[in-house]
Amino acid sequence: MAVVHTKPIPNPSPLTSLRALRAILRDRSVLAGMQVFHAETGDVFRLSLPGFNPVVLVGAEATHFILTKARHDLRWRIDDDPITKLLIHGVLVEDGDSHDQIRRSLNPALHRNMLSKYEDAMLRRTDQIIDAWTDTQPVDMLVEMRKAALLILMDALFHVDYTPEMERLWHSVLNLIGFISPGLWLVWKNAPRPGYRQARALMDEYLLRIIRLHREHLDDPDDMISFLIKAGMSDELIRDQLMTMLIAGHDTSTAMLAWSLYLLGAHPEAQARAREEIDQELNGAAPNAVNTLQLRYLQQIIDETLRLYPPIHLGSRVAAVDLEFDGFAIPKETRVLYSIFLTHRHPDYWERPNDFDPDHFSPENKHKREHYMFLPFGGGPRNCIGMAFAQVETRIVLARILQRFRLEQRGHAVHLHMGATLEPRPGVWIQPYSRLSKGNTYG
């Protein structure tokens, strides 16, 4: 039998670690340090922290390996992780037959054929938020887009008006997002989490209440909760799926929209071109799932936003068996991280990888979307179940905002925050100026 020789997985040297620390302090982001590790160590390296020493994989071949080739040999579910404790048996933290069965039950509500039924809710809730904007008061787009994403998700998928609960449950939602974000728990499993139990109890009570109301009035086949009830799920299992959508689903939309508006504010020439396209293609009509497909430059801006700032910037798995990738041995029970952020900024794939350039997604660069170089929604059979919903939502919300407003960025610096998603912190301050003239036409 031939002897298989594997390469040792590189550990960043002390000097590389020092450079990474300097980058983290300079940019106020752990991801800056990860970029240093990647540049100096390569596409495979190990992080070494007390009690946390995962293998990190970067690049198209690595993401294809994890998401497709070796997907049956990697576990999603990690029982000690906060996300599993919160979602319990949500589709995001299940493996094997359990995942497949739950996903089949969720698919009808998230199928592309359903998107036209959701566009009215997307537009209505966007207008609800932006109707309050004035020409004299800057707004934090991180907060505003979180409100819009929550209202849209609850209205479109659950057929519930979340407006009366927004203020009461606002801090509970933020607390639960913080609970599943990277933090001290990575090296201290029992780190105290103040406020979590109360936030969890409030959200559980709310979700179980709307599930019971749907059981009492089971007459809407287009509602996700009704689909799950008819699939025979218990209230507790339905709660797990709703919590998954509420926490993981809305937070990704929040980040995607907030970063898009940040870049539109930071690049007035791109914003002007997008507005011109919207005015020409929509001609004053309300954006919807179909007519926004004609907004090709806006889509390039969205894709470039997702490249630079992918909401799900890091994926986590555990090796269920001994694995080998590119000559490196990955022992069973090793935590494996794959970095979408670093792949999206890989200098082998992208010219000026850290610069905003919508032409990265011009028609001649279409191939980069097809070979695991660009994967903001994951890839393979377990790609994001809400991808089509999120794509339509983003086009409608951004098209409506640019249709009604011109945006000017205010001088607040932002940095990359590794939360449950990749967020712009401390916020995205924009001054919106109405484009509505007295004749109620767009100008």
Which structure tokens are listed for 435? Answer: 């484009």
Region of poorest pLDDT, from 4-13, 264-273, 401-410: 4-13
Tell me how many degrees the CA angle 227-386-288 measures, rounded to the nearest 5: 95
On the question of pLDDT at 413 being above 90, the answer is no
Domain 78-263+386-443 has CATH 1.10.630.10: yes
At residue 440 the predicted structure's pLDDT band, cuts being 50, 70 and 90, is very low
Q: Let me know how many helices (H) and strands (E) the chain has, helices first.
A: 16, 12
For the chain, give the mean pLDDT. Answer: 92
Mean pLDDT to the nearest integer, 195-224: 90
pLDDT band at 441 (very low <50, low <70, confident <90, very high): very low
What pLDDT score was predicted for residue 339? Answer: 96
Query: What is the C-alpha R_g of the chain?
Result: 22
**Predicted pLDDT of residue 369:** 65
Q: What is the tens place of the pLDDT at every residue in 261-278?
A: 999 999 999 999 999 999
Q: Residue 14: count other Cβ atoms within 10 Å of its Cβ.
A: 8
Pick the more confident residue, 194 or 261.
261
**Against a cut of 0.85, is the pTM above it?**
yes
The pLDDT confidence band at residue 5, using thresholds 50, 70 and 90, is low
Find which of 102-116, 186-200, 258-272 is predicted with most confidence, using mean pLDDT.
Answer: 258-272
pLDDT value at 443 more than 50? no
Lowest mean pLDDT among 25-29, 88-92, 356-360, 363-367: 363-367
pLDDT grade, residue 437 (50/70/90)? low
**SS (HEC) of the chain:** CCCCCCECCCCCCHHHHHHHHHHHHHHCCHHHHHHHHHHHHCCEEECCECCECCEEECCHHHHHHHHHHCHHHEECCCCCCHHHHHHCCCHHHCCHHHHHHHHHHHHHHHCHHHHHHHHHHHHHHHHHHHCCCCCCCCEEHHHHHHHHHHHHHHHHHHCCCCHHHHHHHHHHHHHHHHHHCCCHHHCCCCCCCCCHHHHHHHHHHHHHHHHHHHHHCCCCCCCHHHHHHHCCCCHHHHHHHHHHHHHHHHHHHHHHHHHHHHHHHHCHHHHHHHHHHHHHHHCCCCCCCCHHHHCHHHHHHHHHHHHHCCCCCEEEEEECCCEEECCEEECCCCEEEEEHHHHHCCCCCCCCCCCCCHHHHCHHHHHHHCCCCCCECECHHHCCCCHHHHHHHHHHHHHHHHHHEEEEECCCCCEEEECCCEEEECCCEEEEEECECCCCCEC
Residue 253 has pLDDT above 70, yes or no: yes
**Would you say 336 and 318 are in contact if contact means Cβ atoms under 8 Å apart?**
yes
pLDDT of residue 219 exceeding 80, the answer is no
pLDDT exceeds cutoff 90 at 248? no
**Mean pLDDT value across residues 167-193:** 87
pLDDT tens digit sequence for 276-335: 999 999 999 999 999 999 999 999 999 999 999 999 999 999 999 999 999 999 999 999
pLDDT of residue 50: 76
Whether 438 shows a pLDDT value over 60: the answer reads no
Mean pLDDT of 21-40: 94
Give residue 439's pLDDT. Answer: 39
* pLDDT greater than 90 at residue 192: no
For residues 247 and 241, give the distance between their C-alpha atoms in angstroms, rounded to a whole number. Answer: 10
pLDDT value of residue 51: 77
Residue 122: how many CA atoms within 13 Å on its side-chain side? Answer: 26
For residue 2, pLDDT over 70 is answered with: no
| pLDDT above 50 for 344 | yes
Instruction: Using pLDDT thresholds of 50, 70 and 90, give the confidence band for residue 175.
Output: very high
Distance CA 347, CA 352 (A): 7
Confidence of residue 83 (pLDDT cuts 50, 70, 90): very high
The reported pLDDT for the residue numbered 212 is 95
Q: Which helix (H) or strand (E) holds 337?
A: strand 335-339
Of 178, 120, 174, the residue nearest 147 (C-alpha): 174
> Which whole number is the average pLDDT over 192-206?
94
Residue type, 227: F
Domain ranges across the chain: 78-263+386-443
What's the one-letter identity of residue 41?
T
| Tokens 């951004």, located at residue | 398
Whether the predicted pLDDT of 136 surpasses 50: yes
The predicted-structure confidence for 41-71, as pLDDT tens digits, reads as follows 999 999 987 778 999 999 999 999 999 999 9
Whether the CA torsion 166, 168, 170, 173 is positive or negative: it is negative
User: 226-238 pLDDT, tens per residue?
Assistant: 999 999 999 999 9
Mean pLDDT confidence for 421-432: 96
